[in-house]
Amino acid sequence: MIIRELETQDIATIWKINEEGLPGTGKVSEYEISKLLNYSELSLGVFNEDELLGIVICLLPRTEYGSLNYAWFNKNYKNFLYVDRVAVTTNSRNQKIGSLLYEKVIAHAQKLELPVAAEVSLKPPNPDSIRFHKRHGFVEVGVLHHEEKSVIMMLRNFNQLL
């Protein structure tokens, strides 16, 4: 397996992986994914040869991205590395791919001396993601309710050890 930056040619597969992660990942179009890649500070994929198995897309504060969850972090924190989405193909789950991606995210955030921000779906519930984030040192810093969704806002300090 190799980890590399996501590229334009990966957009269709990123979209497919995102769809497999619904509702936890949040629905987006291929066009929205291309915009996310343009906004991103860090966008990585785990590949087995040419097959994309998992993705993570992270943003710095104050881009033009219109997510309500991202806006919450912009309102409440000056600096952070925001994990907009992390997703792994259904067939590749429970193989530590998400952890491999988060190791890279955390190392990048530590280099920038920024906390890592993420949200996890509370309604509909996503207990696996809550456990995953807690295992990687995230703590709850708030809850945001909007429309029929609620999310737990989580933060991981940059000075924590990997």
Q: In this structure, what CATH number is given to the domain that contains residue 34? A: 3.40.630.30
Per the domain annotation, does 43 fall within a domain? yes
Q: What is the dihedral sign for C-alpha 10, 14, 17, 19?
A: negative
3-state secondary structure of 153: strand
Helices (H), the chain: 11-20, 30-39, 68-76, 97-112, 127-135
pLDDT digits (tens, 9 = 90+) for 12-57: 999 999 898 777 777 889 999 999 999 999 999 999 999 999 999 9
Label residue 151 by pLDDT band (50, 70, 90).
very high
Per the domain annotation, does 136 fall within a domain? no
User: Residue range 57-67: average pLDDT?
Assistant: 94
Q: What is the 3-state secondary structure (H, E, C) of 16-53?
A: HHHHHCCCCCCCCCHHHHHHHHHHCCEEEEEEECCEEE
Pairing between strand 81-88 and 116-123?
A: parallel
Closest CA to 158 of 57, 91, 52, 81: 81
Which are the contacts of 41, defined by CB distance < 8 A and separation ≥ 6? 58, 59, 60, 81, 108
CB-based contact 54:17 (threshold 8 Å): yes
Per the domain annotation, does 155 fall within a domain? no
Per the domain annotation, does 131 fall within a domain? no
Per the domain annotation, does 156 fall within a domain? no
Q: What confidence score (pLDDT) does residue 136 get?
A: 94
| Model confidence pTM above 0.85 | yes
pLDDT digits (tens, 9 = 90+) for 71-118: 999 999 999 999 999 999 888 888 899 999 999 999 999 999 999 999
Domain count, the chain: 1
Q: What confidence score (pLDDT) does residue 146 get?
A: 86
Q: What confidence score (pLDDT) does residue 90 get?
A: 82
| pLDDT above 70 (res 161) | no
User: Residue range 2-20: average pLDDT?
Assistant: 94
Q: What is the dihedral sign for C-alpha 60, 65, 66, 67?
A: negative
Per the domain annotation, does 158 fall within a domain? no
| pLDDT above 70 (res 159) | no
Which are the contacts of 36, defined by CB distance < 8 A and separation ≥ 6? 28, 43, 57, 59, 65, 84, 85
Per the domain annotation, does 143 fall within a domain? no
Range of the domain at 100: 2-118
Per the domain annotation, does 157 fall within a domain? no
